Amino acid sequence: MRLVDLLPNIATGISNSGFFFGAGTSVEAGYPMMPSLTKQVISALSAAERSHLEEVLVANSLSYDDATGQPNIELLADHIISHAIDTGASRFSALEDRIRTLITDVILAVSNPDLDNHVKFLAGLKARAFGRPACVYIFTTNYDILFELAGAECGVAVETGFVGSVERFFESQRFGTACGTVQLGSRFSEHPVLTVRLIKLHGSISWVSRGGRVFERHPSAFQVSDKRVLILPRRRKVMDTLQPPHDTLFGVASRVIGSDCRFLLSAGFSFGDDHINKNLLLPAAAAGRIRLFALSSDETAGMSDFVKLPAFHAGFSGSGIAGGVRGSAGTDLWKFGELADLFK
């Protein structure tokens, strides 16, 4: 499979391209997938916290399997939050906060992530800008800061919506700002560089809220009292995304998918987030405003509304879909390292 099969516009540059990346793109860097994340979080609960979790499970006629990590942390978070709302008991709200902290701890425990694939990917995008001003959007549900670190390594500006130096503050207008030089006669000349606008839909381990505002600092500089800004991995995230800064980020994504981004490539994303499918991807794909190519090891249940659409294409380990038509040819480009090599 060639790069032009994934992004037909790539022959003339990277304009109008966008990328949607999920947890699968961080695995090779050293981060856990859902089963391992679930096991690590649950095993770190205290005896009292585990007892509170059992209350939630019993109330929902469920049991947790330590060997398989099922139900996974998405489903557990859903039930914990619902139970906290239904009962009004503070111990369940505290359990929700504790799980958020433990998820962050698991991510931060990867102290030296492998940036090679992310550097190769961004460097490949930079080369395909051909020394001209270019902007590419990357949408992600990941909390890690791999793209931010990789951007510094290969000299690519990664715009996350924050302004400042040591302590950065969130300013949504950054997503519509271009850097350049004002010449004689007030003529603006944009710098001939690649800018990656990174839309972190579920927050980041480098974000903290204070006094109703959102700031960014290096994760190692956080204090115990800091409240990290990230949405728990759960299926029913709609209410979470209505809160700042997530409401702004979803607004930006909704505006550019189908306009600035007409060729969208996803990898490591299972399409398991209903709020993303129904509010961002499905309307644009159904209306033919985007050409969506999904790379995944297997076809997932979340793709069921997409697979018959003419605008949907996919590559799996042993099969594929082209414009709603199934084929038997597979690919291993769902591995982020293989995809990065294709851009090299």
**Both 274 and 198 in a single domain?**
yes
Number of domains the chain contains:
2
- The pLDDT value recorded for residue 244 is 78
Does this model's pTM top 0.95? no
Whether pLDDT at 130 is above 90: no
Per-residue pLDDT tens over the stretch 46-102: 999 999 999 999 999 999 999 999 998 888 988 998 899 899 999 999 998 899 889
Q: Which residue has the higher pLDDT, 153 or 167?
A: 153
**Both 11 and 124 in a single domain?**
yes
Residue 330 belongs to domain with CATH number: 3.40.50.1220
Q: Among 108, 130, 148, give the residue marking a domain's end.
A: 108
In terms of residue numbers, what domain contains 42? 34-108
Whether pLDDT at 295 is above 70: yes
**Both 61 and 117 in a single domain?**
no
**Both 84 and 13 in a single domain?**
no
Q: Among 108, 124, 155, give the residue marking a domain's end.
A: 108
Helix axes 146-154, 116-127, angle to 10 degrees: 60
**Both 237 and 102 in a single domain?**
no
Q: Would you call 146 helix, strand, or coil by DSSP? A: helix
**Both 17 and 39 in a single domain?**
no
Per-residue pLDDT tens over the stretch 217-245: 888 777 767 777 877 765 555 555 667 78
Q: Among 108, 130, 154, give the residue marking a domain's end.
A: 108
Tell which residue, 21, 28, 70, 38, has the closest CA to residue 232: 38
**Both 7 and 65 in a single domain?**
no
| Alpha carbons 330 and 130: distance in angstroms, whole number | 31
